[in-house]
A and B are shown apart, each in its own frame.
Chain A
């Protein structure tokens, strides 16, 4: 299966938030009671029950007016995914389409994915004292795309800001769109083509990544590499050495003890 992706074009997004509703509807996620915070942006953050949301930001347009900047917030489905590295149970894994899929049954609730995600996406729900929790996040509608449908958010998007397709094809579409936008938005950029080995959710940005609230250079945290690539092989090697060393000691010491016992017996 070719790798799949979503392309989100912030210049076409009207922030209708239909994607938020479609996601909740398809997955049966409850709505959240929120309070008016003086913005149309709602709910305020991702949660275990909100896997996608549109972030609103106002910036000056340079001639005294304001411009609204919209940015989609959801799992970016990284190729080099920190969450998959640190997940102890294998609950998070890449499926053949490159999507960061999630097997909720296997989740131990450790929340490492929450802490190591460079995009601050997964959310935990449960009891923080006992540690009985489950994580949730977008799985790119794996069940739908497996059956030839598009993800719920893409299906509902009325403005064409979300499209779904083969990753390689969408890179071309995205780059073409960036070229079109350059005259109006000199900072326009296709985010996700190169980041973290290629994201399976790419953004056409009108501004620089930091203006959109995205890390300019997202990285797998060094602690994840140290903990999950360096420590385990080291631990296995040292344990092997210790067992072999102690085993040799046992054999030598036993042979000597037996020799002594024989010598005593002869006397």
Chain B
């Protein structure tokens, strides 16, 4: 089957570092949040891992952005380049995800509407985690208790929302029957390529650009 390159190797490496850090944060966070798992946090080890995870979670994308200033900026611009097709995508999406009906799906660029949404959410939630996390970590003894108390609350709200959206993200990207049918997007995270068939159906506009080159 014909394959097209979607992500470079450094992009994939940084993505997996970010994923790994996120999973560490998620698991060690759940341990503190769900009382039934709480005992796993004894002697502070999961909290140490949470801190290491946080450092990687913040540094990986920063290093990537600094190392690839131009392409990183281009990808941020792409993520925020909303247009009429995004609205069409949103209205056609239920028929696609339930009935497998692709007829009304508008052609998409390198990032489709769903991916743009996920990107935007990370750009919103990342800083919320970071700010509340830093308040709890470094300002525990210098700011009033109320700051700490509400930081825990906000951190938890962000955690619940990002966890739910993460479920949807994984489901739509990897598990959904249509993803399996086309070979899906997961391979782009592994070897950087997607099948031409997937590229055509999910990123039509982008596929045309690549095919021209």
Q: Which residues of chain A (181-207) have a CB below 8 Å from chain B?
A: none
Q: Mark interface residues in B17-55 (1 if CB within 8 Å of A CB, else 0).
A: 000000000000001111100110111101110110000
Q: Enumerate chain A residues within 8 angstroms of B177, measured Cβ to Cβ.
A: 250, 253-254, 257
A112-B152, A223-B150 as given contacts; A256 in contact with B99, CB under 8 Å: yes
Q: Enumerate chain B residues within 8 angstroms of A226, measured Cβ to Cβ.
A: 153
Q: Enumerate chain B residues within 8 angstroms of A260, measured Cβ to Cβ.
A: 100
Q: Report the minimal beta-carbon distance from B171 to chain A, rounded to whole angstroms.
A: 5
State in angstroms the CA–CA spacing of A216 and B80 once bound together. Answer: 52
Q: Which residues of chain A (118-141) have a CB below 8 Å from chain B?
A: 126, 128, 130-133
Query: By the criterion CB–CB under 8 Å, are B33 and A243 in contact?
Result: no
Where chain A touches its partner, the secondary structure class is: helix
Say if the beta carbon of A111 comes within 8 Å of chain B: yes
CB within 8 Å: A-B pair count:
125
Q: Report the minimal beta-carbon distance from A191 to chain B, rounded to whole angstroms.
A: 21
Tell me which of A31-39, A42-50, A59-67, A100-108 binds B.
A100-108
Tell me which of A69-77, A151-159, A165-173, A230-238 binds B.
A230-238
Query: By the criterion CB–CB under 8 Å, are A242 and B164 in contact?
Result: yes
State in angstroms the CA–CA spacing of A260 and B181 once bound together. Answer: 12
Q: Report the minimal beta-carbon distance from A23 to chain B, rounded to whole angstroms.
A: 24
Query: By the criterion CB–CB under 8 Å, are B145 and A116 in contact?
Result: yes
User: A250 contacts which of B50, B145, B175 (Cβ < 8 Å)?
Assistant: B175
Where chain B touches its partner, the secondary structure class is: helix
Q: How many of A's residues come within 8 Å of B, CB to CB?
A: 44
Q: Which residues of chain A (209-267) have a CB below 8 Å from chain B?
A: 221, 223-224, 226-227, 231-232, 234-235, 238-239, 242-243, 246, 249-250, 252-254, 256-257, 260
Interface centre among A112, A115, A126 (most CB of B within 10 A): A115
User: B152 contacts which of A87, A128, A223, A232 (Cβ < 8 Å)?
Assistant: A223
Say if the beta carbon of B157 comes within 8 Å of chain A: yes
User: A110 contacts which of B41, B99, B100, B153 (Cβ < 8 Å)?
Assistant: B41
Tell me which of A3-11, A14-22, A88-96, A142-150 binds B.
A88-96
16 further A-B pairs in the complex, CB-CB below 8 A; given A223-B152, A232-B35, A239-B163: A89-B38, A91-B42, A108-B38, A109-B44, A115-B140, A115-B148, A115-B149, A126-B44, A132-B43, A221-B149, A232-B33, A235-B33, A242-B168, A249-B176, A250-B176, A253-B177
19 A–B pairs (Cβ distance < 8 Å), ordered by A = A88-B38, A108-B43, A126-B44, A131-B51, A132-B44, A223-B150, A223-B153, A226-B153, A232-B33, A239-B164, A239-B167, A242-B167, A249-B171, A253-B98, A253-B100, A256-B100, A257-B178, A257-B181, A260-B100
The 5 closest A-B pairs by CB, nearest first: A223-B149, A108-B41, A89-B38, A132-B44, A109-B44
